Amino acid sequence: MSRPSFVERHKLWTPAQHAAADALVQRIREERLELVRFAWPDLHGVLRGKTLTADAAVGALSSGVKMVGTLLLKDTSHRTAYPVFQPGTGGVSASGFAGAADVVMVPDPTTFRVLPWAESTGWVQCMAYLPDGRPAPLDPRHAAVTLQDQLAQQGMGLTTGLEVEFHIYRITGVPADPAQASWPPAPPEVALLHPGFNHLTEQWFDLAEPALRIVQRTAQALGLPLLSLEVELGPSQVEAVFGPCDALQSADQMVLFRSATKQALRRAGYHATFMCRPPFDNVISSGWHLHQSLRSLADGSNRFSQAAGGVPDQPLSAVGMHWLGGLLHHAHANAALACPTSNGYARYRGSTMAPQLAVWGHDNRGALMRVVDTDSPAARVENRAGEPLANPYLYIASQLAAGLDGLQHRRNPGPATENPYQPGSSLLLPQTLEDALAALGESELLRQPWGQGLGADLIDHVVHVKRAELARRDAHAGASAGNPGQSKDHRAWEHAEYFGVF
């Protein structure tokens, strides 16, 4: 008698996933796929994994695929942020990863897709588990799942919609000299797709249309709920808007969209970057606006709408106002999860349309939380803090934790703002990643175990990895300036760190 598979031994699939696995196997055979990519999103939302032949993929569906555990410990340059070969070092965050031991990627068969840009290739998203079947403690998706389950116990689900700004350039040159290979790799040389500074103009859209057609067809072929593609204000800047769906599904779609967009465009000679502020003069920073509302699991109704329990003189129901109160109460601690790179904080300084204070407003794009469509079934809150490089599981998990806390403690969001850029306000959001990490590390809520927060180990891990990144940035700037610690120009480092890979 054969031994039960990894999935069977640890009961990791639902009946729906077992049924999806059977359909997946049939589809691999009927469509004569040759390869299947097993993909897992890391701490930064970058898809990593292994590509298996079709026959091997069928067997790996229930057995999982082993990968080196240090992939959970990487910073944005792909450096391991812990000394995993030194016993007794690394702290609790490296527990279970000593010696670069394996973890197991377990696929979710319901996520299977055929890639439209790669010949005869399937794709399936995975979650990371330890060899004993426990969820990998530093996997952000697990933290988001448990918080979503906690909300479900109250009969509600989080619905989210994505507005994602990013930049597309034409590639004019790619470093090819092996003698000049670097870590991280040198970014490509690029040219503008459109000249910018004419927001939503049809002429600029027409200039960008060949590249945007690739984005459109790729997203739709993958089943992503794309609604529109738009020309943004900055040179070569565009935006993709997606329809609302379950929050965890939105997070899965975000990591797939970023990766698929970069791959499909690269094959056509374009470079897409989700870096918030590419390292060029006159560039406009990109944001990721996260729309959110709560729905009843019983009947699908919007629990934020006034029809669900209106509050006199307030735009949302009592549930909606308390959720909003929680988001604002924990906005400072959540900043590093919405905007996790040093590059992203340039967006908050001197920019209208980007938030600076932890305030909310009626259809006010300068406020952190914009409350919109309050007289319709689509009543919702738009969080405008995010940058497009944010890990979507951490970003959404932070909203779940803060919102649940708002419901539990009946948080009051206070009055709507009419001056979202009021100078000298005590509600100023963190202006640097260093300040945001300090607030994150001190958050009692986010350090709570999964189901209430993100867990102390995961929070300490994020802070540790991000501070390691900052230390490398400052060392580079100091060396470049010939005076360690004195240089404030980090643009060259950010160009090398983020522009090519992200």
Say yes or no to pLDDT of 202 above 80: yes
Mean pLDDT is lowest, of 90-99, 276-285, 378-387, 390-399, for 90-99
What H or E segment, with its residue span, contains residue 162?
strand 156-173
Say yes or no to pLDDT of 152 above 50: yes
Beta bridge pairs of residue 228: 241
Averaged pLDDT of the chain? 92
The pLDDT confidence band at residue 483, using thresholds 50, 70 and 90, is: very low
pLDDT at position 445 is: 97
Q: What is the domain partition of the chain in residue ranges? A: 7-138, 148-499
Q: Which CATH class is domain 7-138?
A: alpha beta
pLDDT at position 480 is: 52
3-class state of residue 390 by DSSP: coil
Say yes or no to pLDDT of 284 above 70: yes
The pLDDT confidence band at residue 387, using thresholds 50, 70 and 90, is: very high
pLDDT at position 219 is: 98
Say yes or no to pLDDT of 485 above 90: no
Mean pLDDT of the region 449-473 = 94
**Residues 87-113 pLDDT 10s:** 665 544 556 777 888 899 999 999 999
Per-range mean pLDDT, top range of 96-110, 202-216, 307-321: 202-216
- Tokens 């300090």, residue located: 438
CB 116 within 8 A of CB 129: no
CB 295 within 8 A of CB 303: yes
**Cis-peptide, bond into residue 184, ω within 30° of zero:** yes
Say yes or no to pLDDT of 357 above 50: yes
Instruction: Please give the span between the terminal C-alpha atoms of the chain, in angstroms, as a whole number.
Output: 47
Mean pLDDT of the region 379-392 = 96
Phi first, then psi: what are they for 137, rounded to 5°?
Answer: -65, -15
DSSP secondary structure letter of residue 163? E
The pLDDT confidence band at residue 404, using thresholds 50, 70 and 90, is: very high
CA distances from 408 to 251, 263, 319, 326 (A): 25, 43, 10, 9
Query: Amino acid identity, residue 73?
Result: L
CA distances from 184 to 42, 75, 473, 494, 500 (A): 17, 11, 12, 11, 9
**Residues 405-458 pLDDT 10s:** 999 999 999 999 999 998 888 899 999 999 999 999 999 999 999 999 999 999
What is d(CA 341, CA 276) in angstroms, rounded to the nearest whole number?
9
CB 69 within 8 A of CB 101: yes
Half-sphere exposure of 418 (CA within 13 A, CB side): 0
Phi first, then psi: what are they for 437, rounded to 5°?
Answer: -65, -35
Mean pLDDT is lowest, of 58-72, 193-207, 306-320, 370-384, for 306-320
What H or E segment, with its residue span, contains residue 10?
helix 6-10
Distance of CA 150 to the CA centre of its chain: 21
Beta bridge pairs of residue 170: 191, 270
The pLDDT confidence band at residue 1, using thresholds 50, 70 and 90, is: low
Half-sphere exposure of 8 (CA within 13 A, CB side): 9
Same fold, 7-138 and 148-499: no
Q: CB burial class (10 A; 0-12, 13-18, 19+) of residue 489?
A: exposed
309: left (phi over 0), alpha (psi -120 to 50) or beta: left
Say yes or no to pLDDT of 194 above 70: yes
Per the model's pLDDT, the better-predicted residue between 105 and 178 turns out to be 105
Tell me the percentage of the chain whose pLDDT exceeds 90. Answer: 80
Assess if CATH 3.40.50.150 describes domain 148-499: no
DSSP secondary structure letter of residue 80? B
